[in-house]
A and B are shown apart, each in its own frame.
Chain A
Amino acid sequence: MEKLQRTALFSKHKELNAKNVGFCGWEMPVQYEGVIKEHDACRNAAALFDISHMGEFFYEGDIVNSGINNATTTDFVKLPVGKCKYGFLLNEQGGVIDDLIVYKLDDTHLMFVVNAARIDVDFKQIKSHIKSGTFQNRSNQTSKIDIQGPKSKEILQTLVSFDLNELKFFGFKQTTLLDTQAIVSRTGYTGELGYELYVDNDTAPILWDKLIELGAVPAGLGARDVLRLEKGYSLYGHELDEQTTPAEAGIDMFVQYKSHDFTGKEALLKQKEEGISKVIIPFTTNSKRAPRNGFDIYQNDKKIGIVTSGTYAPSVGSGIGLGFVDLKLYDENAQLELRTSRGSIPIYKATLPFLK
């Protein structure tokens, strides 16, 4: 087996007695003191996540003419400096190679933040669009720490020199944090008020300790997954993959069709005309039973789909899940059920987000 990579915070996780798991080639903390406690810290106070496994690419050059603006569904020319945007890197068929956030640092600089498992594929794919300028993968030199929750602003405010109220949702600032260059971004994957912090690997452990000292509670990938699912956010490899378009995943609204061309656009427009054949539906169990990734979805005694994500949701008090259904077979009015090796679990169609 390939050796798992470790983030700059690995020794910190060890000190905190984290339970680690292999995740996308990285040895990452899945939990410290317990998923529910960490989940609650994020919903009610402030939770701290090491997300350094994710990738960061930097482009410097002519954003208008170099070809980079055709790489993803986001129009970087239109994107204001100081703003970032969620979008997709697509293949020619409109399938999602990755979902990513792109930061407009200034008129000639961009930062791409991508999923850990897709770093190599994404880098190659984006690079193939670029005819001028420099494009660098600085994933191994960049640490990413997320602080999320209603108390995150007051905690972080003590460490930054500008007023955090200036940052609107999906706004960011290049600033200094603990005397080194950093990016503070008003974004996150939990649905709470929160910030994503990009710093160098030497600063990360110091920043991590400082934020804990100020009251943030370390939280693992287990809590992160529950938090994102309560808000209905997609996870690459679950709701998104190369065989799935943004429309099928139900997140077509993030695609900027009008202003620019991008790889996969024709396929998406064609699909808009012809219609989709599968779609993600959100559902609950209305019980403590949790749906799990891979459970079959049945209706009228026929398999119509498969669960892509599922968990028990503490904020909802029920099992919740997302899954694909085949639209040729799906009946909006008939009872849905999951079939598992242990029998059947009735499920009920819900609307997103699960946690309003």
Chain B
Amino acid sequence: MGSAHKKGEIKMKKYTNEHEWVELDGDTATIGLSAYAINELGDITFVELPQIGQEATKGESIAFIESVKAASDIYAPLSGEVVEINEGLENAPELLNEDAQGTWIIKIKVSDVGEFDTLLDENAYSTYTSSL
């Protein structure tokens, strides 16, 4: 584990091609959806969260989100176990529209923190979204 992942430091977000953002604190990954993704989906109306304790496999669906006119899976950016879910989103999914980058959806205790380094950094993600 690199020193960049120690507690107390400013956490850098990394991203996936499926538009999840990830912050890593120790071996706990905090996961949300990028502002780009939320903007594409439009007004969010429903979030289906996993159970605490559920196994997460990198690249596989871990949650589900709907807007008025669209629906999308949320994919686990890293493998591990779900340790926390943002239950507030069940009654107030619009929080994601208000602040996508600041509203987390699930937390995963990751089994291999090295996977974090394979994700896109801010610049790479922004290059990726501008190509879409």
Give chain A's interface residues, CB within 8 Å of chain B: 30-31, 34-37, 39, 222, 225-226, 288-290, 292, 311-312, 314, 342
Q: Does B64 contact A (CB under 8 A)?
A: yes
Q: Does B27 contact A (CB under 8 A)?
A: no
In the complex the two chains form, what is the Cα distance from A34 to B69 in whole Å?
11
Contact between B68 and A222, CB atoms less than 8 A apart: yes
Contact between A290 and B42, CB atoms less than 8 A apart: no
Contact between B68 and A226, CB atoms less than 8 A apart: yes
Which single residue of chain B is at the shortest CB-CB distance from A289?
B46
In the complex the two chains form, what is the Cα distance from A119 to B9 in whole Å?
62
Contact between B68 and A312, CB atoms less than 8 A apart: yes
Q: Does B28 contact A (CB under 8 A)?
A: no
| Option from A37, A225, A288, A289 in Cβ contact (under 8 Å) with B69 | A225
In the assembled complex, 27 residue pairs joining A and B whose CB atoms fall closer than 8 Å, in A order, are A30-B69, A31-B42, A34-B97, A35-B42, A35-B43, A35-B67, A35-B68, A36-B43, A36-B68, A37-B43, A222-B42, A222-B69, A288-B45, A288-B46, A288-B66, A288-B93, A289-B66, A290-B45, A290-B46, A290-B71, A292-B71, A311-B68, A311-B69, A312-B45, A312-B66, A312-B68, A342-B64
In the complex the two chains form, what is the Cα distance from A36 to B69 in whole Å?
10
- Chain B residue contacts of A37, Cβ below 8 A: 43
B27 CB → nearest A CB, Å: 29
Question: Which B8-34 residues sit within 8 Å CB-CB of chain A?
Answer: none
In the complex the two chains form, what is the Cα distance from A290 to B42 in whole Å?
14
Which single residue of chain A is at the shortest CB-CB distance from B90?
A288
A326 CB → nearest B CB, Å: 26
- Chain A residue contacts of B97, Cβ below 8 A: 34
In the complex the two chains form, what is the Cα distance from A226 to B68 in whole Å?
8
Which single residue of chain B is at the shortest CB-CB distance from A314?
B68
Contact between A35 and B69, CB atoms less than 8 A apart: yes
Question: Which B51-93 residues sit within 8 Å CB-CB of chain A?
Answer: 64, 66-69, 71, 93
In the complex the two chains form, what is the Cα distance from A292 to B42 in whole Å?
16
Pairs A-B, 5 closest by C-beta atoms: A288-B46, A312-B45, A36-B43, A35-B68, A222-B69
In the complex the two chains form, what is the Cα distance from A120 to B93 in whole Å?
43
Contact between B45 and A34, CB atoms less than 8 A apart: no
Which single residue of chain B is at the shortest CB-CB distance from A221?
B69
Which of B48, B64, B66: most chain A Cβ within 10 A?
A: B66
Which of B43, B64, B71: most chain A Cβ within 10 A?
A: B43
B86 CB → nearest A CB, Å: 16
- Chain A residue contacts of B93, Cβ below 8 A: 288
- Chain B residue contacts of A225, Cβ below 8 A: 69
- Chain B residue contacts of A290, Cβ below 8 A: 45-46, 66, 68, 71
Contact between B43 and A34, CB atoms less than 8 A apart: yes
B70 CB → nearest A CB, Å: 9
Apart from A34-B97, A222-B42, A311-B68, what are 9 other A-B pairs with CB-CB below 8 Å?
A30-B69, A35-B68, A37-B43, A226-B69, A288-B45, A290-B66, A290-B71, A312-B45, A312-B67
In the complex the two chains form, what is the Cα distance from A37 to B68 in whole Å?
11
- Chain B residue contacts of A289, Cβ below 8 A: 46, 66
- Chain B residue contacts of A314, Cβ below 8 A: 68
Which single residue of chain B is at the shortest CB-CB distance from A287?
B46
In the complex the two chains form, what is the Cα distance from A314 to B71 in whole Å?
16
- Chain A residue contacts of B48, Cβ below 8 A: 342
In the complex the two chains form, what is the Cα distance from A222 to B42 in whole Å?
10
B97 CB → nearest A CB, Å: 8
Which single residue of chain B is at the shortest CB-CB distance from A317?
B45
- Chain B residue contacts of A36, Cβ below 8 A: 43, 68
- Chain B residue contacts of A34, Cβ below 8 A: 42-43, 97
Which single residue of chain A is at the shortest CB-CB distance from B71?
A292
Which single residue of chain A is at the shortest CB-CB distance from B94?
A36
A100 CB → nearest B CB, Å: 26
A315 CB → nearest B CB, Å: 12
In the complex the two chains form, what is the Cα distance from A39 to B67 in whole Å?
14
A343 CB → nearest B CB, Å: 10
In the complex the two chains form, what is the Cα distance from A292 to B66 in whole Å?
11
- Chain B residue contacts of A292, Cβ below 8 A: 71
Chain B 93-124 interface mask (CB, 8 Å, partner A; 1/0): 10001000000000000000000000000000
In the complex the two chains form, what is the Cα distance from A312 to B68 in whole Å?
5
- Chain A residue contacts of B43, Cβ below 8 A: 34-37
In the complex the two chains form, what is the Cα distance from A311 to B68 in whole Å?
6
Which of B42, B68, B71: most chain A Cβ within 10 A?
A: B68
